[in-house]
Structure 1
Amino acid sequence: MSIWRPEFEAALELFASVSASVVRRGFAAPVLVGGAAVELYSGSAIATGDFDLVTARQDVVEQALQDHGFVKPRGPGSLTRGWIHPDLKLGFEVVGSALLDGRAEQARVRLIDASAGDRFAVISVEDLIADRMGQYASGAAPDMLAQAQTLFRLYQGQDDSYLDRRIREETSNDYGIDDIL
């Protein structure tokens, strides 16, 4: 039995297939970040409506999305930057070319095996928590503190020293690991 809601698990499988296509073309797999990474690590305790991706090769990833049946929404009120698959209710969008603007350690990116045998890359839980804390510290996203706390509570095995350093970097030293305990 899966720990994720069915539509999210289906989207993960499709993302793994898209990622495998990108890798077969000789490029690095896109990295899952943002709300979808939160949902992944929280076992769907925190749900998302989109998949945010980071890749240095947006053109290659978007071609792979198209090859897998994704389309750009059209018409009034549609997302113009993202991609939608007709069978999914989740949008996919490339949101950056460098993981947390180059502040995250690429070596900490996790590779996850999907059930069909493909793999996908996801930001480390430490960098994800630090990102949530950075958004919280900005004052623009007060709900991000709860997300960071939930991720910290649910996920086992994080590197607390790295996590504290990354939180301090993302929050201009205003917060640290003690603020999410």
Structure 2
Amino acid sequence: MKVDEIDRQIINLLFNNGRESLTTIGEKVFKSNHESMSHAGINKRISKLEENDVLRIQGNISVENLNYKSCFILLEMKNYEETKKIIQSYSKCPRVFMLSQVNGRYDLIIGIIGQSIEILHRYINNCGPTNKEGILHSEILFISNLKVPKYIPLNIFSKESQECNCGNQCSSCEAFLSGECDGCGKF
């Protein structure tokens, strides 16, 4: 889909305030003759951007304001098949806020969120991706202060986040059973 100047203006306004009314957006978006757009015209454009997966409006969360901690796990993988397994296993984990293939020494980078450094350590040591087959080398970078973005998309408060999606089974995990780990369902 080709994005024109009006689409760019709409996206920019929604970036700054995702709750902006269609009428207000219409008043701020200018066509070539500097007339404002109708709210119906704005709605049509937003719908088209959403249908084409160019835009998604969602509620994002401030990690800093919740006093949550985060880290990046860098993984060097044995081969592409093992990489695909990790991606499949952790793409729906409620603790994962970013998962990306990268080029260079490492093959994957995974952003993880937790209520404290201790919880991040327990997650990494007990059920995190560093314990999986096919990992040649891993490195963990704890984030001291996440500056940009201020808000990130996290699905930690939904019923879906209460389920274990990574393939680990809390009910048979020693750390969970001993109380050392709370599991992923307690945010």
TM-score, scaled to structure 2: 0.26
From the two aligned structures, give the one with the greater helix fraction: 1
